A and B are shown apart, each in its own frame.
Chain A
Amino acid sequence: MELLMMVVYAVTVLMLLLGAVTYSILFERKVIGYMQVRHGPNRHGPFGMLQTIADVSKLLMKEDVIPKAADRPIFILAPVVAFVPAFAIFATIAWSENIYAADLNIGVLYFIGISSITTLGVIMGGWSSNNKYSLMGAMRGVAQVISYEIPLVLSIVGVVILAGTLNFREIVLYQETIGLWLIIPQFLAFLVYMIAAIAELNRSPFDLPEAESELVSGYHTEYSGFRFAFFMLAEYTYALAISALATTLFLGGWLGPAFLPGIVWFLLKMCGFMFIWFWLRATLPRARVDHLMGFGWKVLIPLALLNIVVTAVIKVWMGW
């Protein structure tokens, strides 16, 4: 019975997630469209609501091409390896006080640990396709994600020190007790988190692994059809997850004026973060590999460390 419930829950989340990804892609295209003085998709359904569905069905019907020189098993496995961790992250997120899948005491740790596996999918895909551009994209991707994973984690540490727990639900409850969203005492951490998160997500301006003008499209150049869709799915799922994490840690999760239910507040805040990713993509040019690395190691990590020290000192001193 318990197993059945688990399966039911997992399928429900998967369906919801597919819906969320479908519409965040549409949201992105609309947002960027309006920023670029055009309309974005508007042919399929009202406001182009069915555009992504049409796109995905096209991808599904395409021929499944696997390059002859590719390493077959790894090539096939890579999109799955990229997607599954991004999906698994959602288990720990507390959507509201009562809606959550696993009330894990090491939620934050789980989140960070599992999400790093996505990188493996990237390098597997890039390396096994036996394409020079893909290989370079994958190498860049791995270097970038590993370098930015560190400031990302370090920036979260500040929040964890204050809240004194790794449990997502309790972090939000802590914010409720002090009556303050952690973005205010942890503003430096928030900045570091935002920048590192963009790099983690491989989104513009740090979209080097898939730099179209340099590497054609990086690690998934050789992928087509549903395998390509899977990579896209993984990317957007991860973007949603990172937004959910930011919401929980810095913006008080489901907290908000009582006229809307908690989960609505949570989703609204998430949408806000998604909007920021899209906004940046429409505005900024792409950074260069060496600049990116230098910035990560020389600026973000020291800042994050500084934040930890300051937070710890204040915590002890003020007895928060």
Chain B
Amino acid sequence: MSIRTEQMTLNMGPQHPSTHGVFRLVLTIEGETIVKAEPVIGYLHRGSEKLAENLLYTQFIPYTDRLDYLNAMTNNYIYCAGVEELLDWEIPERAEYLRVLVMELNRIASHLVWWGTFLLDIGALSPFLYAFRDRDLILDRLNEISGARMTFNYVRIGGVKWDAPDGWIEKVQETVKEVRENIHEYDRLVTGNEIFQARTIGVGKITQEDAINWGLSGPIARGSGLKFDLRKEEPYSIYDRFDFDVPTFQEGDVYARYKTRIAEMHESLKIIEQACADIPDGEYIHKKGKRIMMIKPKPGEVYKRCEASKGEIGVYIVSDGKTQPYRVKLRRPSFVNVQILQDYLVGEPIANLVAIFGSLDIVLGEVDA
């Protein structure tokens, strides 16, 4: 006699503790094995791209903060860099250094949030609190320079909003030391753990070919053996002046992505140290950028991309010579990266779902824009 079994539809999210916001998955499961996974997104859609068409060029910068709110500096930067290219402005040296500093600090903060929440998904409680302690150190520094903890609105067209306050660079150097030690400690606490390795090694393998075909970027692609980092490939800002590696791992599993991000934090710390040592004095914003609200770039279009903590973030701006952009299109790395989920969840148990989904490092503000 055989027992009659049935497939079950399980609605996971948008209010589920491990969907990090308002992501929703409609799963078809057989026992605990996933047969079909259907991601549903759009719960946080705000129409940012359309909003941009009715705003002045400078007015759109705060909206970019709210895309990937864990990594707002890079979003600020890429939009401003796009507009600057349309305007053909020369950016002061000091401004570029400050931009690199805040972007790298923010990258570490973003990776730390990922580290904590990912381990929380896997079931370890404490790392979450440790990660947030260190993130807070970084946020304090960013707060001192920009006046905000998450939605900075600091990078402006032509430079940055304010110069660094007195003694800020020294404080950053101290923070770097502290954070580096702590990351080492966390690495010792978690990475070698038997249970952790059993949960992550060989789970959610993404081949290099798939990574390319799905357009993945950032630590996910690098965890699959794809040595692709825009800071090296097409150095923007002043990244060509710094000495750093692009950590790449071949395995493509959750563990490789984990190691990539840990190694990346160390590389970012290296960049910050070098930038702190070299930072010149001078202007922090282009002289026209200081006051002007109304910017009228010449008609034309530009696509500018850079390396955010989640992957390649890009902005495509079309100008028709007016004070408002004709069209703004954002390439959001989380949105692209999350697409792979539906194929890669089939055949996995629910416990792996959490690990795989967590390892992609999605921010819903960016997925839905």
CB within 8 Å of B: which residues of A?
32, 35-38, 132-133, 136, 204-205, 207-208, 211-216, 281-291
Q: B349: which A residues are within 8 A, CB to CB?
A: 288-290
27 contacts between A and B (CB under 8 A): A35-B126, A36-B125, A36-B130, A37-B129, A136-B32, A208-B351, A211-B351, A213-B121, A214-B350, A215-B350, A216-B17, A283-B126, A284-B124, A284-B193, A284-B195, A285-B119, A285-B124, A285-B193, A285-B195, A286-B195, A287-B123, A287-B198, A287-B199, A288-B198, A288-B351, A289-B349, A290-B349
By beta carbon, the residue of chain A nearest B196 is A285
For window 49-64 of chain B, which residues contact chain A by CB distance below 8 Å? Answer: none
For window 193-224 of chain B, which residues contact chain A by CB distance below 8 Å? Answer: 193, 195-196, 198-199
In the bound complex, do residue A285 and residue B10 qualify as a contact, i.e. CB atoms below 8 Å apart?
no
Number of inter-chain CB pairs below 8 Å: 81
**Mask for B1-44, Cβ within 8 A of A = 1, else 0?**
00000001010000011100000000000001000000000000
In the bound complex, do residue B122 and residue A132 qualify as a contact, i.e. CB atoms below 8 Å apart?
no
By beta carbon, the residue of chain A nearest B197 is A285
B308: CB under 8 A from chain A?
no
Q: Nearest chain A CB to B179's CB is how many angstroms away?
A: 15
- Dominant SS at the A interface? helix
Q: Nearest chain B CB to A234's CB is how many angstroms away?
A: 22
B120: CB under 8 A from chain A?
yes
Q: A132: which B residues are within 8 A, CB to CB?
A: 8, 10
Q: B354: which A residues are within 8 A, CB to CB?
A: 213-214
Other-chain contact of B123, A32, A133, A136, A211 (Cβ < 8 Å): A211
Q: B133: which A residues are within 8 A, CB to CB?
A: 37
In the bound complex, do residue A281 and residue B125 qualify as a contact, i.e. CB atoms below 8 Å apart?
yes
By beta carbon, the residue of chain B nearest A211 is B123
The answer to whether residues A287 and B195 also contact, given A36-B130, A37-B133 and a CB cut-off of 8 A, is yes
In the bound complex, do residue B199 and residue A288 qualify as a contact, i.e. CB atoms below 8 Å apart?
yes
In the bound complex, do residue B130 and residue A212 qualify as a contact, i.e. CB atoms below 8 Å apart?
no
The answer to whether residues A37 and B123 also contact, given A132-B8, A289-B351 and a CB cut-off of 8 A, is no
**Mask for B111-133, Cβ within 8 A of A = 1, else 0?**
00000000111111110011001
**Mask for B338-358, Cβ within 8 A of A = 1, else 0?**
000000000001111110000
Q: Nearest chain A CB to B112's CB is how many angstroms away?
A: 14
Q: A288: which B residues are within 8 A, CB to CB?
A: 198-199, 349, 351-352
The answer to whether residues A213 and B125 also contact, given A132-B10, A285-B193, A288-B199 and a CB cut-off of 8 A, is no
Complex Cα spacing A205 to B121, Å: 13
Q: Nearest chain A CB to B305's CB is how many angstroms away?
A: 33
By beta carbon, the residue of chain A nearest B8 is A132
Q: Nearest chain A CB to B315's CB is how many angstroms away?
A: 34
In the bound complex, do residue B123 and residue A286 qualify as a contact, i.e. CB atoms below 8 Å apart?
yes
The answer to whether residues A285 and B122 also contact, given A213-B17, A214-B18, A291-B198 and a CB cut-off of 8 A, is yes
By beta carbon, the residue of chain B nearest A286 is B123
Complex Cα spacing A243 to B54, Å: 66
Complex Cα spacing A281 to B126, Å: 9
Q: Nearest chain A CB to B352's CB is how many angstroms away?
A: 7
Complex Cα spacing A4 to B64, Å: 73
In the bound complex, do residue A213 and residue B10 qualify as a contact, i.e. CB atoms below 8 Å apart?
no
Q: Nearest chain A CB to B324's CB is how many angstroms away?
A: 44
Q: Nearest chain B CB to A9's CB is how many angstroms away?
A: 39
CB within 8 Å of A: which residues of B?
8, 10, 16-18, 32, 119-126, 129-130, 133, 189-190, 193, 195-196, 198-199, 349-354
Q: A281: which B residues are within 8 A, CB to CB?
A: 125
Complex Cα spacing A211 to B351, Å: 9
Complex Cα spacing A296 to B162, Å: 60
Q: Nearest chain B CB to A298's CB is how many angstroms away?
A: 14
| 6 smallest beta-carbon distances between A and B, as pairs | A286-B123, A285-B124, A213-B18, A36-B129, A285-B122, A213-B121
Q: B17: which A residues are within 8 A, CB to CB?
A: 212-213, 216
17 extra interchain contacts, Cβ-Cβ under 8 A, other than A37-B129, A204-B125, A282-B125? A36-B130, A38-B129, A207-B123, A208-B351, A211-B351, A213-B123, A283-B126, A285-B123, A285-B193, A285-B196, A286-B123, A286-B124, A286-B195, A286-B199, A287-B123, A288-B349, A291-B198
Q: Nearest chain B CB to A203's CB is how many angstroms away?
A: 11
Q: Nearest chain B CB to A277's CB is how many angstroms away?
A: 13
Complex Cα spacing A208 to B199, Å: 13
Q: B124: which A residues are within 8 A, CB to CB?
A: 283-286
Q: Nearest chain B CB to A217's CB is how many angstroms away?
A: 9
Q: B122: which A residues are within 8 A, CB to CB?
A: 213, 285-286
Complex Cα spacing A191 to B57, Å: 66
By beta carbon, the residue of chain B nearest A205 is B195
Complex Cα spacing A290 to B350, Å: 11
Complex Cα spacing A282 to B121, Å: 14
Q: A133: which B residues are within 8 A, CB to CB?
A: 10
Q: A284: which B residues are within 8 A, CB to CB?
A: 123-124, 193, 195
Complex Cα spacing A207 to B10, Å: 21
Complex Cα spacing A215 to B10, Å: 11
By beta carbon, the residue of chain A nearest B351 is A288
Complex Cα spacing A29 to B130, Å: 17
Complex Cα spacing A213 to B351, Å: 9
In the bound complex, do residue B126 and residue A213 qualify as a contact, i.e. CB atoms below 8 Å apart?
no
Complex Cα spacing A187 to B109, Å: 45
Q: B126: which A residues are within 8 A, CB to CB?
A: 32, 35-36, 282-283
Q: A36: which B residues are within 8 A, CB to CB?
A: 125-126, 129-130
In the bound complex, do residue B199 and residue A37 qualify as a contact, i.e. CB atoms below 8 Å apart?
no
Complex Cα spacing A208 to B32, Å: 13
By beta carbon, the residue of chain B nearest A208 is B351
Q: Nearest chain B CB to A214's CB is how many angstroms away?
A: 5
Q: B350: which A residues are within 8 A, CB to CB?
A: 136, 214-215
Other-chain contact of B125, A32, A136, A291 (Cβ < 8 Å): A32
